[in-house]
């Protein structure tokens, strides 16, 4: 994976991030979701480098091989605001004061927070397979509670850690080396078998139902929206349309300069359809 990429650690204050980067040209920050690491982009990142971009693929704080912040009762240490701050500092350390951001799954909440909290740093925003946390919770019905029950289970204290630790491979049984790639799968297994990483990943969800939702609702009351051009991509074999009808309608009030399109794929589009994803990103970012 990541032939020709620099693989290093960068201190960003409270934590140190594992990051891989390469290329020349417009800087693009790719942020993964749960329970993946930056290696989920291993098929997309080289394609973007070959198209003339500088590509940066970190593990978010708490995830993969990145540092774990000290736990707090209010979960602020894993808030999307804290993670977004890490990313601004990371990109500054790499010499990029402005950059495009792409976030998938839990990463889409981070890049939304990045664009809202640091509008001068984000030139273009891409959100994939998710709507703002506050919007999802506002629309929560029996179907959402059934299909996305993990949001609420992961937010409970202690029991999720015990359930996952009993058999991490069974819990994350959708992971397959033949679809993910062998090295990407190995990184995932290392992450889900590490107790500190599992705890930090669960803290992501605990922050989501509390401080992250509060931050989004404060944005709405203040009338804050994303200032830069925004692209929403959703996987055709995921549940965005089933849950929200037209997911672009949800995003329009957050990102006035919005466009979007579906991509033929299951949820983990970067692994399942890297060609179409890289092409869609290139069309928008270039």
The verdict on whether 267 is a catalytic residue reads yes
Measured CA to CA, the distance from residue 44 to residue 279 in angstroms comes to: 9
Catalytic residue among 42, 96, 215, 267: 267
Q: Is 118 a catalytic residue?
A: no
CB atoms within 10 A of CB 189: 15
The number of angstroms, rounded, from the C-alpha of 89 to the middle of its chain's C-alpha atoms is 17
C-alpha count within 13 angstroms, C-beta hemisphere, residue 194: 18
CA dihedral 254, 85, 119, 136 (to 10 degrees): 0
Q: CA-based Rg of the chain, rounded to a whole angstrom?
A: 17
Catalytic residue among 105, 129, 204, 238: 105
Catalytically annotated residues: 105, 267
């Amino acid at each position: 994976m990541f032939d020709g990429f620099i693989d290093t650690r960068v201190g960003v204050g409270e934590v140190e991030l594992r990051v891989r980067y390469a290329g020349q040209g417009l800087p693009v920050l790719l942020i993964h979701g749960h329970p993946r690491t930056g290696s989920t982009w291993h098929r997309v990142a080289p394609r973007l480098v070959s198209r003339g971009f500088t590509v940066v693929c970190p593990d978010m704080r708490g995830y993969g091989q990145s540092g774990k912040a000290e736990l707090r009762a209010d979960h602020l240490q894993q808030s999307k605001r804290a993670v977004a701050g890490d990313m601004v500092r990371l990109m500054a350390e790499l010499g990029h004061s402005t950059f495009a951001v792409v976030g998938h799954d839990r990463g889409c909440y981070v890049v939304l927070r990045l664009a809202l909290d640091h509008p001068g740093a984000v030139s273009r925003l891409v959100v994939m397979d998710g709507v703002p946390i506050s919007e999802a919770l506002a629309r929560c019905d029996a179907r959402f509670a059934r299909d996305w029950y993990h949001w609420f289970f992961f937010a409970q204290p202690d029991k999720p850690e015990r359930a996952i630790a009993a058999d991490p491979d069974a819990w994350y049984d959708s992971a397959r080396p033949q679809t993910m790639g062998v090295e990407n799968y190995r990184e995932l297994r290392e992450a889900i078998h590490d107790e500190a990483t599992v705890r930090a990943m669960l803290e992501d969800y605990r922050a989501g139902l509390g401080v992250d939702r509060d931050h989004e609702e404060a944005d709405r009351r203040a009338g804050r929206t994303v200032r830069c051009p925004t692209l929403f991509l959703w996987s055709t074999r995921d549940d965005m349309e089933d849950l929200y009808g037209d997911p672009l309608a949800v995003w329009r009030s957050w990102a006035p300069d919005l466009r979007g399109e579906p991509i033929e794929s299951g949820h983990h589009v970067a692994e399942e359809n890297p060609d179409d994803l890289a092409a869609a990103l290139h069309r928008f970012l270039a």
